[in-house]
Structure 1
Amino acid sequence: MTALIADVPLQVASLLILFARIGAVWMLLPMFGEDSVPGPVRLLMALGMSLALLGLLGPRVTPFAAQDSALVATILVELGIGLAIGSLIRIIMQAASMAGAIISMQIGFSSALLFDPAVGGQTPVLARLIALAATLVCFAAGLHHQWIAAIVRSYDCFPVGTVPSPQDWAALAIATVGTATSLAVSLAAPFIVFGILFNVALGLSARLAPALQIFFIAQPLNLLLGLALLGVTLGTILSTFSAAMSAWTAGGWTHG
């Protein structure tokens, strides 16, 4: 009993080290880390996840928890790693919003704005819609389990007690931004082609009938055709995003 009580401070220190990384990632995860979720609820979920993983990851952090002089430094490093990992997930999730913004611009729907708490400002309605739908599809596909598994794998790639190179993190962030941008463009590719063809046809119509007010005819037609195309392709867009997110989770930040 005495040995068990004496072991409590070591276990608490181990939990703090785990909570620094896992809690930082959890605060930035889609849905779990949204501003609409109260802060205490997010903290309790992160603490619960840290407790759940303590038995699995505890042996990796116990040696550092025993070093009282370096405990604060270890926690700060773990906090930085967690924030970096969470930021990478946020970046790749923004691909859905970027695709929605491109689609809104191509079909003439970009003036319909609403407040998005995720970005702290105004965003096109379609961008918000596609981002929410993509998040729900990811959860339905079980990707949140892959996020948790990747957090566990991050302890293999970035062990406790090591300070990752800033150059490696910068290269990983740049690669993630490039991946998110290319994914957004590929998701919106049908609408980019549609916008080019529609505007070429609009220019030809203006040449053939200069006296006709093309804009008043073309704008409603652009919206109608664009929304119809969105209805046809939305399922493919969401499934493609989910597959890309799954592939990135399996080999993204944990292989930095």
Structure 2
Amino acid sequence: MLTLTAAQWNGWLALYLWPFVRILAFVMVAPPFSDSQIPARIKVGLAVVLTLVIAPTLAPPPAIEVGSPAGIWITMIQVMVGVALGFCVRVVFAAIGAAGELISIQMGLGFATLFDSAQTESNMVIGRFLTLTALTAFMAADGHLLLLATLHDVFTTFPVAPGLIEAGGWLERGKAGLLIFSFGLRLALPVIGILLVVNLALAVLSRATAQLNPFAIGLSATLLAGLVLLALVFVSLAPLLTEAVQHSLEIGARALRSASPAE
């Protein structure tokens, strides 16, 4: 009769449990998997499938019992690593949403808001539209495959072990937020600049022509100019978004690479 020892059971459990915890944390945080409209059972099922595919290709886990204090500590570290990687992706889409809200204000649509189920708050309609367009373009450009490939590579960069990220790694990840939000500003700055010129031209025109109603013409002119500029932004949105996500994930991988095992 086939008999299994407690060490064998623990080895099999550790082989799948710790990668599953990291993958599930990543899926719960990183767009587009983290959308609140996706049922939790689907997210857990996706994490299970990915774990079954990725776990057999990884190095053997450390010989530590899963239920021991060291095993619980490793589990907490996997949660932190998964959340950190997911945050790398989420901050890019947050920057795009912020750029859309700036554009919405300049277009005169700051009053138009709707409820964002992903952020559980009301956002301006242009910001939400730009975020949805970015998600669609990201998926069409196989961005989800980039996320999964990076998730697999990080298991090599930062294997399952009782190690923490050094302070320098967290500092580098914090500085990366400035670079990512500069991407959002770069995306919105041309539209904001041109709309500012349009508003200034309308102000001069209404000052020179007393009969001109700036409220009747100004809103239509800025709205039309904003829609035309948004159409131009959408042309270059997909490559810029893919570049920003890849750059953010590379920074996150470098931060994890600076980890030192703490036995």
Name the TM-score, length of structure 1 as normaliser: 0.89
Distance 1:62 1:15 in 2: 12
Structure 1 outlier segments of 4+, above 6 Å: none
Give the aligned partner of residue 28 of structure 1.
Answer: 29
Q: Give the counterpart letter for 1:130 in structure 2.
A: L
Shift of residue 107, structure 1, vs aligned partner: 1.3
SS at match of 2:23: helix
Matched, 1:163 2:188: no
Provide closer, same or farther for how the CA distance between residues 71 and 110 of structure 1 changes in structure 2, counting only shifts above 3 A: same
| Residue 245 of structure 1: aligned partner | 245
1:37 alignment counterpart = 38
1:1-256 to 2 correspondences below 5 Å: 1-3=2-4, 7-59=8-60, 61-64=61-64, 68-159=68-159, 160-166=161-167, 168-169=169-170, 171-210=171-210, 212-249=212-249, 251-256=250-255
Instruction: Kindly indicate whether the alpha-carbon contact (under 8 Å) linking 2:104 and 2:110 is maintained by their aligned counterparts in 1.
Output: yes
Q: Name the aligned partner's letter for residue 226 of structure 1.
A: G
Considering only aligned residues, what root-mean-square deviation do their CA atoms show, in Å?
Answer: 2.3
The CA distance in 2 between the partners of 1:241 and 1:189, in whole Å, is 16
| Cα 1:130–1:4 shift into 2, 3 Å | farther
Residues 14-36 of structure 1 show CA distances to partners (whole Å, capped at 9, x for unaligned) of 21111121110111121211110
Label 1:168 to 1:146 Cα distance change in 2 as closer, same or farther (>3 A).
same
1:107 and 1:191 in contact (8 A); partners too: no
In structure 1, distance between residues paired with 2:254 and 2:173: 12
TM superposition shift of 1:245 = 2.2
Structure with greater helix percent? 1
Displacement of 1:157 after TM fit?
3.5
Q: Offset of 1:91 from its aligned partner? A: 0.9
Give the 3 Å change call, closer, same or farther, for CA 247–173 of structure 1 in structure 2: closer
Q: Report the TM-score, using the length of structure 2 for normalisation.
A: 0.87
Show CA shifts across 1:22-80 (max 9, x none).
Answer: 11011112121111011111111112211211111252x24345794511111112112
User: In structure 1, how many angstroms separate the alpha carbons of the residues matched to 2:205 and 2:148?
Assistant: 54
Q: Give the conservation status (yes or no) of the 8 Å contact 1:187–1:241.
A: no
196-205 or 34-43: bigger deviation: 196-205
Unaligned runs of 5+ in 2: 256-263
CA distance in 2: counterparts of 1:4 and 1:52, whole angstroms:
25
Per the alignment, in what secondary structure is the counterpart of residue 2 of structure 1?
Answer: coil
CA distances 1:88-130 after superposition (whole Å, capped 9, x unpaired): 2211221221221122122112221111012111111121111
SS for the counterpart of 2:153 is helix
Residue identity in the other structure for 2:22: R
Q: How many residues align?
A: 253
1:7–1:165 CA distance, 2 compared to 1 (3 A): same
Letter in 2 for 1:41: I
| Same amino acid, percent of matched pairs | 25
Q: Is this contact kept in 1: 2:92–2:244, CA < 8 A? A: no
Change (3 A) 1:65 1:90: farther
